[in-house]
Amino acid sequence: MANANGKSATGFPEKISEKANPEANEATEIAGNIIYHAKYSPHFSPLKFGPEQALYATAESLRDRLIQLWNETYLHFNKVDPKQTYYLSMEYLQGRALTNAIGNLDLQGPYADALRKLGYELEEIAEQEKDAALGNGGLGRLASCFLDSMATLNLPAWGYGLRYRHGLFKQLITKKGQEEVAEDWLEKFSPWEIVRHDVVFPVRFFGNVQINPDGSRKWVGGDVVQALAYDVPIPGYKTKNTISLRLWEAKARAEDLDLFQFNEGEYELAAQLHSRAQQICTVLYPGDATESGKLLRLKQQFFLCSASLQDIISRFNERSTSEGSRKWSEFPSKVAVQMNDTHPTLAIPELMRLLLDDNGLGWDEAWDVTSRTVAYTNHTVLPEALEKWSQSLMWKLLPRHMEIIEEIDKRFVQTICTTRVDLEDKLSTLSILDNNPQKPVVRMANLCVVSSHTVNGVAQLHSDILKAELFADYVSIWPNKFQNKTNGITPRRWLRFCSPELSDIITKWLKTDKWITDLDLLTGLRQFADNEELQSEWASAKAANKQRLAQYIERVTGVSINPNSLFDIQVKRIHEYKRQLMNILGVIYRFKKLKEMKPEERKKTAPRTVMIGGKAFATYTNAKRIVKLVNDVGDVVNSDPEVNEYLKVVFVPNYNVTVAEMLIPGSELSQHISTAGMEASGTSNMKFALNGCLIIGTLDGANVEIREEIGEENFFLFGATADQVPRLRKEREDGLFKPDPRFEEAKQFAKSGVFGSYDYGPLLDSLEGNTGYGRGDYFLVGYDFASYMDAQAKVDEAYKDRKRWLKMSIMSTAGSGKFSSDRTIAQYAKEIWNIEACPVP
C-alpha cells in the first residue's frame, strides 16, 4: 500500500518494481535492481534505507554487472588460452570502487538518475564508501593503476595481494602530533569482494626437510595455515574485459582447534594456530623492530608468494588435464610472474620448490622454467629499502627455501668463477648470501637480479642509476636483462572521474574524448594555450575544484582557507629524503618575513595556502616530528591576524586515495622536492601535472621526464643534481659547507619557541654537524635551501601574472600524455611479459 507521497511502506517509490537485472542500463531498471538488493541481499534491518544501506545495495547492483562481465572474460580467456601475467604486490591502494566502476562501465548518468528516483544524489552515496586499506604509498597506488590499465587494454592478467583487515593505520592528528589507530574498512564488509570457498591452498611455516630414500627432498612438519581467496573485480574502461585482484586471507581449519585443551580452560593454547593465522593479514607492514615483528613480515611475504604460485600452477595443471599432459617447458610460454619490488622475492625459491619437490622436475629444468617466468621491478636505490633477511630467521621459518637459495647462490658463484674471473673480487657484494659472521643475511634484490629474465627501473634516471651504480656489475654479466619502464597513472581515476569539469573542457577543445584511452592526444591543447576563451574556461574549472577543496579542508580540519590564494600542496609518505622538512622551513622563513613587513608591503605579496599531508611510519621518530612541526606552525600562522590573510598552513590528515582525488584537482603548485637520485620515480607528480598543476621540484625520478615533456619553462626547477650529491656530501664531511643565511634564520626561528614548547632540537640536529648518525644533513636540505627559496620567489612572481600562469597550467596538462599507465603497461606486455590483448567479443 502506498502512502501520500507515492512510496511503499518500506520507503521505496511505488512506481518502481524491484527486479534483479544485472544488465540494467536504464535508470528505472537500475533503481529496480537497487531496490531488489536492498530487500533480498539484506545486511541491515528491514524498513531502513539510509545512505549507508543505499551504498551497499547500489554496489551490489553494480557487482551483478561486474560478475557477468567477469565470467565472460574468464570463459573467453579459458577458451583462447593466452599467456597470462600474474602481478604480485604486497600492497594495492585501490581507493573507492563505486564511482570508478560506474565510470569505467560508462553508466554515470543512469546511476545518478536511478539514485535520484530513490531520493539520493550519487555523490552523497559515494561518500559513504571507505577506501580499501590494502596499501600505503606510491608502490600500492602504482599497482592499482596498472590493474586498471591491464583491464582497459584487454590484457589477460591477474593481480595477487593480501586482504589486510586493518591496513597500515588510520592517521589521527592531535596535540601530540600523529597518532595511529587501526583502519576499519572491513568493520562491516566490502560489497566488492567475492569469497572463493573452493580456492584454498595450504601454506607451511617452520618444520624441517625430509630426505627420501631416492634422494628427493620434502618439507614437512611445522605449522600449516590455509590461504582462502577473495576476488575483487577490476573493470576496464568502456570494454567488456573485467579482470581480478585476488586477495588471500589466512585461516586455520576447524581441526586445528584443540577441543581437549579448550575444555580444560586453556583457551589461548587451544586456538594458538587460529590466532597465528589471523595475525598474518591483520595489518600491512607490522613493526619489525622485534624478532617477532620480522618473523611476521616474512610470513606475510611467503604467504602471498606460496598461495599465488600454487594457484597459478593449479590453473596450468587444469589445462594439462583437459588437453592431455602439458610439458613444464611450456610453463613460461603461458605464465609471466611480475614481482613488484623485493617483497615477493620468495616467489623464486617457492616456484623452484613446487617444481622440484611437488612435481618431480630436476634442478636444471626447474631453474630454466623459473628464470624464464619471473621478472623483477626495482623501486628504490635506498639501501635500507633493499631487503635483507637474517639467514637464521630464514632457516627457522623456511628451511627448504634456504637450501634452494644456497644452491642458486653456489651455482651463480661457480659461474662467475669460471666465466668472469675479473669479477671474483666483487663476489662479496654480488652473491645472494652475505655470510658476514656478525650478521649473515640473504640479499633479496641480488636473488631477484640473478633469477629474473628481466629487471626494470621505473623512471629513466632511476634505471640509469641502477645500471651505472647499484647493479653495474650484473649489467656487465647480463647486458640485455635491464630495462626502463617509466611509471604511469590511469587517466580515468586521475582526471576523467576526479575532475569532470576540466575533462569536459579538454574534450570540448580536442573535439573528442578519445584522450581518455590515448593520452598523447592531449598535445592538441598546446595550440590553444594562449586562447583567452580556453584560459577563461580553464580558470573557472580550477576555481570550482579549489572551492570544493576549501570546503573539504574546513570540514576535516576546521581551518578556513581563501580559495583565491595559491594552493601549494605536498602530499606523500613523510620521509626525510622527500624533504617535507625543507618545505616547512621555507614556510617558517616566509612567515618570519611577512611578520617583519609593513601592512602595505604584505598587500603586494601573493597569498598562499600551504597544505602538507601523508603518513609517517609509526616507528619513524623524525618523520613524526616533522608532522608535529607542520601542525604547530599551522596553529601559530593560522591564528596570527597580521599574517593569516597572506599565509595559511594546513596538515591534511589521513591522506589516502579519496583525499588525493579532492586535493589534486584543486592544486595549483605541488612540491616534489626529494634529494636528487633518491626518488625512484614518484607518481603523484604525474597526477598533479595532468591536472594542470605546476611543479616545483628537483631533477629526481620522473620529474626529469615531466620537465622534458611539458617544457622547462613550465617547471620550477631547483637543487643539486644526482651526480653532484656524492661530492656535496663529501664536502660537508670535510667541513666545507657554507649555509645560506636564510637557512640559518629559518632554523633559529624554528628553535625560538615561537611555535610552542615542543623540543625540535633532535629533528633540527639532523641538519647540523658534518658527520655522524642522524647528523650532517644527509639529504642536503641546507645545500638546496637557497635555490629552493629562489624558485619559490619565481613561483610568487609567475602567480601574479594570471595569463602566464594559466598558459603554463594548460601546457602542463598538454605535456602529460606520456605518463599514462596504459603506455607503461603496453610496454611491459610487449617487452617483458610477451602477452597480447585478448578482448571479449
Give the span between the Cα atoms of 581 and 627, in whole angstroms.
Answer: 9
Helix (H) or strand (E) holding 225: strand 223-235
Q: Is 683 among the catalytic positions?
A: yes
For every residue of 82-113, which 3-state class applies, written as one string? CCEEEEECCCCCCECCHHHHHHHCCCHHHHHH
Residue 170, SS3?
strand
65, 299, 578, 732: which one is catalytic?
578
Q: Which residues neighbour 307 within 8 Å (Cβ) at sequence distance 6 or greater? A: 160, 201, 203, 227, 229, 248
| DSSP per residue, 699-750 | S-TTHHHHHHHH-GGGEEE-S--TTTHHHHHHHHHTT-----HHHHHHHHHH
Q: Is 573 among the catalytic positions?
A: yes
370, 683, 698, 824: which one is catalytic?
683
Alpha-helix runs per DSSP H in 41-97: 51-80
625, 687, 732, 807: which one is catalytic?
687
CB atoms within 10 A of CB 671: 26
379, 496, 624, 648: which one is catalytic?
379
Residue with cell 617509466: 486
For 139, the grid coordinates are: 608502490
Give the span between the Cα atoms of 390 and 798, in whole angstroms.
Answer: 53
Q: Is 578 among the catalytic positions?
A: yes
299, 492, 496, 572: which one is catalytic?
572
CB atoms within 10 A of CB 475: 17
For 630, the grid coordinates are: 607542520
610 neighbors 728 (Cβ within 8 angstroms): no
165, 485, 542, 573: which one is catalytic?
573
Q: Closest Cα partner for 283 from 389, 399, 181, 153? A: 181
Q: Closest Cα partner for 332 from 372, 375, 376? A: 372
Q: Is 379 among the catalytic positions?
A: yes
Residue at 537: amino acid letter: E
Q: Is 48 among the catalytic positions?
A: no
Give the span between the Cα atoms of 360 and 700, in whole angstroms.
Answer: 48
Q: Is 217 among the catalytic positions?
A: no
CB atoms within 10 A of CB 7: 15
For 260, the grid coordinates are: 581437549
Catalytic residues, which ones? 379, 572-573, 578, 683, 687
